[in-house]
Amino acid sequence: MNIFFPKEPEIEKRVSLTLETAEKFSKLGLKIFIEKSFSEHIGTSDEDFAAIGVKIVSRDEGFLDANLVCSVRNLQEEEIDKIKPSTLLISFLDPFNEKVLVKKIKEKNISAISMELVPRITRAQKMDALSSQANLAGYSSVIIASQELQKALPMMMTAAGTISPSKVFVIGVGVAGLQAIATAKRLGAKVEAFDTRPVVEEQVKSLGARFVKIDIGETGETEQGYAKELTPQQIEMQREGMKKVCASADIVITTAQVFGRPAPTLVTSEMVSAMSQGSVIVDMAVGTGGNVEGSVPNEIVDIDGVRIVGNTNLPGELPFHSSQVYSSNIFNLIDEFWNEEDKKLNIDISDEILSICLVSHEKEFINKTIKEIME
């Protein structure tokens, strides 16, 4: 079987294959192809890949000969026509927003796995790309915020006086939020955090942060471990409870997203105006509508002296390590379903992982939610 890794668009610094995972794919018996200048921007040359048996081809050649195509970003619609029927495509498909592309993939009889849809179950942890990228995004959010802030994060005792620690408030304690808390604490900040799920309070405290308690009524989490969507009334109660905490914070990091739906607005323009000049907000949900009023995708805007960072690709700020874990996620997924005897993938649509992350197969939609919204 041939596996092809196309070059990502210029705006994307992450890649879907590293030298380490290329060697693992070779041991499975796969023939590996990459597009020319695949990852030179992160220090890995075509010659490095060629030295371990990877073939360098043009983009069109790669699509034409591939049985498997793996990428970070979606392909263009016209590129789907270049892929053979029955090929398996693996990437962040963004199926809820890319309906035309997903429909074309199904009609072309291309099987497609959306890495966002890998379920959060124990067996699938090693292939959970959403979590591996969110972890790095949480780290990156704090580093970027610290660069934009005009203050030091840790308390410092100097001969000229004591510098008080900066205050960081993290809204949403999922994978990204926990890493943001841990990173801010390592840098010496005073950290507070809030989540609609009271069950995460112990995790927050274990990292040395204070858990902000706001009574918004009955809440919970989904089977996948995500916070359940709040009612408009609960969102308003949450805003009221967070207002004072935001006003005293130097950095606010928002992480609340509802997969497949617009992100809830948690920080209003009124709350932004109440923050001190020079404060920084990082809206990690800006790519799906945003948690902060006034945030703009891929821009840093200044509102009354408060800087709002709208970076839509925080993992991409750390392309070496985000590529390392993403390529490992892809390998682990393929390895899980690899038939060693036949040297091919065993696509079982009844499998607890594939039944969820497999969007299309043999001209049928497999994921139930995707099937409902597409049909």
Q: For 289-305, what is each residue's pLDDT tens digit? A: 999 999 999 999 999 99
- Give start and end residues of each alpha helix (H) in the chain: 19-28, 46-50, 59-65, 77-80, 99-107, 129-148, 175-186, 201-206, 232-248, 269-273, 319-336, 354-357, 368-374
Helix (H) or strand (E) holding 254: strand 251-254
> For position 314, what pLDDT does the model report?
98
- What is the C-alpha to C-alpha distance for residues 121 and 224, in angstroms, rounded to an integer? 7
Residue 143 has pLDDT above 70, yes or no: yes
Residue 220 has pLDDT above 70, yes or no: no
Question: 139 catalytic, yes or no?
Answer: no
Question: 351 catalytic, yes or no?
Answer: no
Q: pLDDT tens digit string along 317-343?
A: 999 999 999 999 999 999 999 999 888
Residue 270 has pLDDT above 70, yes or no: yes
Per-residue tokens: 249:
């914070």
Question: 131 catalytic, yes or no?
Answer: yes
List 131, 132, 166, 234, catalytic entry: 131
Helix (H) or strand (E) holding 309: strand 306-309
Q: Strand 251-254 to strand 167-171: parallel, antiparallel, or no bridges (unpaired)?
A: parallel
Which band of pLDDT confidence, cut at 50, 70 and 90, is reported for residue 231? confident
Determine what percent of the chain is predicted with pLDDT higher than 90: 87
CATH class of 2-117+319-363: alpha beta
List 226, 335, 351, 355, catalytic entry: 226
Q: Which contacts (CB < 8 Å, 24+ apart) does range 148-151 have?
A: 148/280, 148/300, 148/307, 148/309, 149/250, 149/251, 149/278, 149/279, 149/280, 150/278, 151/250, 151/278
Which residues, in sequence order, are CB contacts of 213 under 8 Å at separation 6+? 198, 201
Q: pLDDT tens digit string along 71-120?
A: 999 999 999 999 999 999 999 999 999 999 999 999 999 999 999 999 99
Which band of pLDDT confidence, cut at 50, 70 and 90, is reported for residue 227? low
In total, the chain counts a number of residues equal to 375
Q: pLDDT tens digit string along 257-266?
A: 887 789 999 9
Identity of the residue numbered 333: L
Residue 239 has pLDDT above 90, yes or no: no
List 26, 65, 94, 120, catalytic entry: 120
Cα angle 60-62-63, degrees, rounded to a multiple of 5: 65
> For position 316, what pLDDT does the model report?
97
Q: How far is CA 212 from the centre of its chain?
A: 25
Structurally, what CATH architecture does the domain formed by 136-317 represent? Answer: 3-Layer(aba) Sandwich (3.40)
Residue 7 has pLDDT above 80, yes or no: yes
Start and end residues for every CATH 3.40.50.720 domain found in the chain: 2-117+319-363, 136-317
List 26, 125, 203, 355, catalytic entry: 125
Which band of pLDDT confidence, cut at 50, 70 and 90, is reported for residue 215? confident
Per-residue tokens: 331:
């390998």
Which band of pLDDT confidence, cut at 50, 70 and 90, is reported for residue 238? confident
> For position 223, what pLDDT does the model report?
57
- What is the C-alpha to C-alpha distance for residues 38 and 44, in angstroms, rounded to an integer? 8
Question: 14 catalytic, yes or no?
Answer: no
Question: 120 catalytic, yes or no?
Answer: yes
pTM listed for this prediction: 0.92
> For position 315, what pLDDT does the model report?
98
List 71, 111, 128, 238, catalytic entry: 128
Helix (H) or strand (E) holding 210: strand 210-211
